[in-house]
């Protein structure tokens, strides 16, 4: 009779492409894998896999069993999640994924609040590029990612959380910091320190350059927002990044930020998680708690950027220094 172990073996062979690799994945010998498949084929009177040279090809019967295995293991996962969800306190492990900016400026206060609300929950945090985070979600290495959108993938659920502006950021004493308005033409000839190509944030910046007909002079590219800030702080270039990443530096007078007059650079951030018939309660709670927090932070940053911009536009740079107590 067909059992769960045989279904698990079929999935492993289909994923890895060989009996040997499937054995490594399941921590059993290649002969044990072969024996289980032979027993199953003998019972079905049908081949499940065919050897074509050095490759393994799944048969129609094997494909039917593979689809059955997906349904069975998903049902088991959903049932387990349902049992966990019925418990009064939230417990278990939630593995969160995000880019450098999110992990540095969003997750720390949120994880503190989540641990306060749900002390028995175990939170794991991993950082990486959007591509790496999506790979981790698909491979089962993560539960939930907070990433820059769009992420249009049929096997993943997207929950938009917020929109935040991308701003021009310079050193505090940079000539642009003395202007009442920063125009697109003011950026021509400026050295830029930017995020590496590939991220949605960088794509938004590149699109701005293209529509504004600016050929940027890029002096440095990195995925580390702290490196970008340090280079800008030391006058090695200017950048375009979210206000959230420089809020404290701007308030302390170490960096200057401004909107680009007549242009709206916006990036949207959202939660991404694997599509399933039942969303685990832990994932729901994280989305709810962190979405509320992120929206609050976004509203604060938007208000502060507006305040800084209005002060400079109305009274000049001196007004901003007065606000900082200089």
Whether the pLDDT of residue 312 is over 60: the answer is no
In tens, the pLDDT along 155-198 reads 899 988 878 889 999 999 999 998 878 999 999 999 999 999 98
Separation between Cα atoms, residue 177 and residue 179, nearest integer Å: 6
Q: For residues 256 and 170, is the Cβ–Cβ distance under 8 A?
A: yes
CATH architecture of structural domain 92-161+269-301: 3-Layer(aba) Sandwich (3.40)
Q: Where along the chain do its domains lie?
A: 4-85, 92-161+269-301, 163-268+305-323
Could you tell me the CA-to-CA distances from 81 to 4, 91, 274 in Å, in that order? Answer: 19, 11, 14
Could you tell me the CA-to-CA distances from 160 to 115, 150, 269 in Å, in that order? Answer: 23, 9, 6
Q: Residue 42, Cβ neighbours under 10 Å: how many?
A: 9
Q: How far is CA 35 from the centre of its chain?
A: 42
Mean pLDDT of the chain: 82
In tens, the pLDDT along 241-266 reads 988 889 889 989 999 999 999 888 88
Omega prior to 150 cis, within 30 of 0: yes
* 316 band by pLDDT with thresholds 50, 70 and 90: very low
The encoded tokens of residue 117 equal: 């609300």
Nearest to 320 by CA among 257, 246, 229, 260: 257
| Global confidence as pTM | 0.62
**Residue found under tokens 């969800």:** 85
In CATH terms, the superfamily for domain 163-268+305-323 is Periplasmic binding protein-like II (3.40.190.10)
Lowest-pLDDT range of 70-74, 282-286, 314-318: 314-318
Q: Do domains 92-161+269-301 and 163-268+305-323 have the same CATH topology?
A: yes
In tens, the pLDDT along 112-122 reads 878 888 888 88
Could you tell me the CA-to-CA distances from 326 to 179, 181, 256, 317, 320 in Å, in that order? Answer: 19, 22, 15, 12, 9
Could you tell me the CA-to-CA distances from 112 to 123, 124, 144, 162, 289 in Å, in that order? Answer: 10, 12, 17, 21, 11
**Domain 4-85's class?**
mainly alpha
């Amino acid at each position: 009779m067909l059992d769960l172990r045989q279904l698990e073996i079929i999935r492993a062979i289909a994923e890895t492409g060989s009996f040997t690799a499937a054995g490594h994945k399941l921590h059993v010998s290649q002969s044990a894998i072969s024996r289980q498949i032979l027993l199953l084929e003998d019972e079905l009177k049908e081949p499940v896999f065919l050897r074509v040279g050095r490759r393994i090809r799944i048969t129609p019967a094997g494909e039917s069993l593979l689809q059955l295995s997906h349904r069975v293991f998903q049902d088991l996962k959903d049932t387990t999640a349902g049992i966990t969800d019925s418990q009064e306190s939230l417990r278990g492990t939630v593995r969160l994924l995000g880019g450098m900016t999110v992990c540095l400026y969003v997750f720390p206060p949120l994880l503190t609040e989540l641990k306060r609300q749900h002390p028995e929950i175990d939170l794991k945090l991993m950082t990486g590029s959007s591509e790496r985070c999506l790979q981790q979600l698909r491979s089962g290495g993560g539960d939930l990612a907070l990433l820059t959108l769009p992420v249009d993938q049929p096997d993943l659920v997207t929950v938009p959380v917020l929109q935040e502006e991308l701003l021009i950021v310079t050193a505090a004493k940079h000539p642009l910091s003395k202007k009442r308005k920063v125009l697109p033409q003011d950026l021509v000839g400026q050295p830029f320190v930017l995020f590496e190509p590939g991220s949605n944030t960088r794509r938004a910046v590149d699109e701005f350059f293209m529509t504004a007909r600016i050929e940027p002079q890029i002096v440095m590219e990195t995925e580390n927002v702290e490196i970008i800030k340090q280079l800008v702080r030391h006058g090695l270039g200017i950048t375009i990044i979210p206000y959230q990443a420089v809020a404290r530096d701007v308030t302390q007078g170490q960096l200057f930020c401004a909107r680009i007059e007549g242009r709206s650079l916006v990036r949207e951030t959202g939660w991404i998680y694997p599509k399933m018939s039942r969303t685990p309660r832990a994932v729901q709670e994280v989305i709810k708690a962190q979405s509320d927090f992120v929206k609050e932070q976004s509203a604060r940053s938007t208000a502060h950027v507006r305040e800084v911009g209005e002060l400079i536009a109305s009274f000049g740079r001196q007004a901003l220094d007065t606000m900082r107590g200089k």
